[in-house]
Amino acid sequence: MSSSPPTRDAEAQAATGEHTTDSDSRRGVDLQQHFAGPMGNCLYVVGDRSSQQAFLVDPAFEPLELHRKATGAGYDVVGVILTHTHQDHVGGELFGMQIPGVRELLAEHPDLPVHVHEAEARRLVELTGIAEANVRVLIDEQTLRLGELDIRCIHCPGHSPGGVSFLTEGQLIAGDTLFVQGVGRVDLPGSDPDALFYSLRRLIELPPETRVFPGHRTGEDASSTIGREIRLNPYLRPKTVEQWRMMMGVF
């Protein structure tokens, strides 16, 4: 894989909803990005080409359709991984709207494990009603194995207590921690502005060519790189937590 930053054309490819990351189509990660719902949610299929196994990421709004897209691409879906448990990412009632999610997915595919950070495992069960037997608890720096892929779990609290970013082969699924030229909200129950600052500082230590895939599409671009976000994202400019609090209006 080239160490040079992806070109604008590569970012435009991600915006189409399909993204592949290895020039050898028989090996490596196949990261497919899809969009659903009125808030521009990004749903993902993370596939290992060698084993033809896949995880679904944040399957809300269109969980069964996401599963069909994965199997239609030839993958055996072996589990779900969650960046956090807000309803627009896992399903449930939000502002009077009933959002399909992991509950509906497991109704059709009851043996799928659902991986979630330990800080939000209880909330997931209470919110969705899925069985505890389906829940697999994640911790910081845990490695998930998908076929021949290693997926690093980076605990990123701030937007929510159990936010997780997933990193594999230079591709970062950032959830609602880091957007393209934005960040997740910190005015929700369970949010912690200071924790988000430190989570962002942790992510920007990744190599600048690391591709960033957010939890929401907030503009023209559906993906970015760490280097590009360091240059263009105003929320990454504060160097101290005091500067960050001033920017976020937290005193």
Per the structure, the count of domains in the chain is 1
Position 54 in a domain = yes
Position 3 in a domain = no
DSSP for 38-67, please give it. Answer: TTTEEEEEEEETTTTEEEEES--SSHHHHH
pLDDT at 105: 98
Q: Token match 């330990």: residue?
A: 118
Query: What secondary structure letter does DSSP report for 5?
Result: P
Position 97 in a domain = yes
Position 81 in a domain = yes
241-248 and 193-203 are packed helices; what angle lies between their axes, rounded to 10 degrees?
120
Position 2 in a domain = no
Position 229 in a domain = yes
Sheet holding 114-117, edge to edge: 29-36, 41-48, 53-57, 76-81, 114-117, 135-138
Strand partners, 212: 172, 224
Position 235 in a domain = yes
Is the pTM above the cut of 0.85?
Answer: yes
**Domain with 129 in it:** 8-248
Residue 191: CATH number of its domain = 3.60.15.10
190-228: burial string, b at 16+ Cβ within 10 Å, e else: bbbbebbbebbeebeebeebbbbbbbbbbeebbbbbbbb
Q: Token match 């990454």: residue?
A: 236
Mean pLDDT by 10 residues, the chain (251 residues): 34 44 66 97 98 98 98 98 98 95 98 98 98 98 98 98 98 98 96 98 98 96 98 97 94 69
pLDDT at 27: 80
Pull the structure tokens for residue 222. 């559906």
Position 65 in a domain = yes
